[in-house]
Structure 1
């Protein structure tokens, strides 16, 4: 096939960004050109992997360092809300997020038409939770990538997105939906007015995006799929079984103590690293154990002065190269961490704070591949007991081995590249 141009437009977060990098790597291996439409703060991320990237303003233009700090400050300002239930976060964190997301769609509409006419893509892949009218109206096939939990595509029988509800808690599902829709209504009305102004039909309450008529790629693996009342049509919806990018190799360093102990990896993502007190508490608890731990502390490394000999802290780790070498992972439930642990067959303890972390913390327990734990309400003994189960439970080990084999046999990025080529 002649070389085609495939554009990727992920939201400005490392999870979606790096999933799209994985697919873009596979697309280029097939001889096509992958380009990125990017929030200005993420342009250098894509360039760092060797891709062309075109800025699209998703907010008031500001210098890149200020842009990167905007979301960091946004998250850090909400740390007190991380103690609240998903239901109680709707009134604060979730409401503020949707306000910002709707604003991003309005800003994008100013830049997208000219950027698309410059790039001239043959297909556009959007990994976001909101519709950008210019992409739908461009006249080429567009693909929706769902890199968060699959419940972004609603169904009456499955937990609502962001709710953290159990699969069978149908009363909880309804309670969350009703609360979400009531709080979000003014923001949703504003978005529908924006859609009308751009010749798009309005969405029903609670909905900010639609499935693509061409192709929808879900990163959720088979092992974690929900049983839907309306099964998704495989002609339009394909599960990728994760989407793990190629990353530079990582050599585990020598530890000052416990150098032969089980190895843990702890990461709350680039934004969750702002919760320094929590990470320090986990480090102190692990410092008294037989384990070793690699801990991702983001841009706050200078705040960790008294680190135990069995713990190594770094500002960043090449996560897909680290997880295969560890025995268990403690993370925040972001979808990359969730799917990478399953892909490499590693048990996880998920301490969620926002967004689909709540859903993944519940789901990892339901499918027998780890535990959800409250973020703050735990004792050292409870944490250690959960880690021990992760390291020794035979049923969990068997489930993870089966899930890993299934996911690795699929090769998500390669499968995605093949499906995009078919679409072309």
Structure 2
């Protein structure tokens, strides 16, 4: 556009002469349901998270990993900055991870989002305690609040996926992304809330609404007149009504209070574990009339305790739990970890399948191999109640269910995995991930 001659005093009409439509340059709108974090620069020694929730995220993948060497390589990848920008949205975290090839691999980790009922329970529990709200605003996650709806993932909850050709579970690229995500959770625990389906702004708005509603109700109750009864009516002789029926048992056992960490005080993890166990046993006895642990052996009860503990695995506190339970029962921590995986697969029956080979009678076990071959599945070699390939195994339980196991090729290191099924093909499908 040519400027006007000097001295005319006339400014150019930019709106008409430019030939362009004027646009409103507004800043991009904040998306509370999708956040992207820039790639982290490698910092020496900064690979492991320091918060309990960051460790819980990392353990959820490590406890189901089949190859510690892949985890070690993934940790090294994370440490040298091989993970590009990380995008977090409800149910998934994604990033490009650089490997040995020039082109990076697209890697993601999926996790289940919470239901509306779960969110209602979590927000109600947070709003009921001012210290919970203060902790969240201070970028802290109280253990008792997270346990309300199992906010943190447990073993098997994280589903890794990667475009690389490695079929490990997980591959080193997914492991690297998991380690870097744990560091993100260290810095901002609202990331885990977003992964579970709700962004930070929505959470804070919901808590503010609940606080305002509760304050209004308390104000109304404080100003309402107290009910009165005439003295002659209160003192008049009368017969008492029959006692009401007992209250129904609660749907779930109660949660213990949060125990503080203080010098000279008992271990808060041990107190929480004992209180949770007592509440669960009391609830079962109240609703069924049966003590669920009365006939368990010491070893079975130790496995049950470790399996019921949220996030059990590789943090300092839970490593101590595994070490102490294993030592008390004459086993190794690896024996206990494998038994915990079996218990989470199917309880006491699955633990017996892990530890007690047996010779099934003629019938379903004999028909299993032809059924698998007819379905186009690999040839399995039989041994007692086991059917095995080089890396997959099905075990037939005395309860009539098939239990899946997996091992690295060439190693007899079988770990329970998948969901038991009455059909061997169904159990194998669950083992292979659907």
Fold-level similarity (TM above 0.5): no
Tell which has more relative contact order, 1 or 2 (C-alpha 8 A, sep 6+): 1
More helix by share: 1
Bigger Rg, which one: 2
- TM bucket (normalised to shorter chain) is under 0.3
State the TM-score, normalized to the length of structure 2: 0.24
TM, length-normalised to structure 1: 0.25
